[in-house]
Amino acid sequence: MKRLHVNIQVKELAKSIHFYSQLFKAEPSVVKADYAKWMLEDPKVNFALSLSDTKEGIEHLGIQAETEEELGELYSRLDRIEGKIFEEGDTVCCYAKSHKSWIEDPQGVEWEIFHSYGTSETNTSEGSPCCIPLSENK
C-alpha cells in the first residue's frame, strides 16, 4: 500500500502535537525534540487539484468522513480542540454535495472536516465560492 506523506513546519511543537493528537485521536508514533510523526491508517487520503490563477501550493488539508456517524465523531474531536471552528454546513463544493466545518491548526493551516453525500454538476453553490475556509470567514 502507498501512503501519502504530509510534513508541516511548526513554531511550537508541543502545541501542535496536542492539536494533531486530538484531531487524529492518536498519539504520535515518533516524538523527538524537533520532530513528531503519526503513521495513520485512518483517515485515507482524498487528493485533489484545483486550477487557480491567483494562488499556488497547499490550499487546505482535510479529513473526509465516509458516513454521517464518522462525521459526528470527527466533529466531537473538533469540540475538544482549542480554536475557532467555522461550521459551513450543507454546501455544494468541488462537484460534490457535502456537510462540512473548518478549523485552523496552531500555524494557521486550514483543515476541512466533511462528509460528501452526493455529486453535483457544478463546482459551487449558486453565487458562493467553493470551499470557504475559516480564513475567509474571519
3-class secondary-structure state, position 63 = strand
Kindly give the pairing relationship between strand 110-119 and strand 85-93.
Answer: unpaired
Q: Is the predicted pLDDT of residue 137 greater than 60, yes or no?
A: no
Q: Which residue has the cell 510534513?
A: 7
pLDDT of residue 32: 92
DSSP structural state of residue 54? S
Mean pLDDT of 88-109: 87
Element holding 114 (H helix, E strand): strand 110-119
Beta-bridge mates of residue 35? 32
pLDDT of residue 134: 43
Residue 132's pLDDT band (boundaries 50, 70, 90)?
low
pLDDT of residue 131: 61
Mean pLDDT of 82-99: 85
Grid cell, residue 34, equals: 524537533
Report pLDDT digits (tens) over 21-74: 999 999 999 999 889 999 898 887 877 777 677 877 788 898 999 899 999 999
Nearest Cα to 138, choosing from 81, 65, 85? 85
Element holding 76 (H helix, E strand): helix 68-79
Proportion of the chain in helix, strand, coil states, percent, rounded to 5: 20, 30, 50
Using a pLDDT cut of 90, give the percent of the chain over it. Answer: 33
Supply the mean pLDDT for the chain.
83
- Distance in Å from the first CA to the final CA of the chain: 39
Mean pLDDT of 133-138: 48
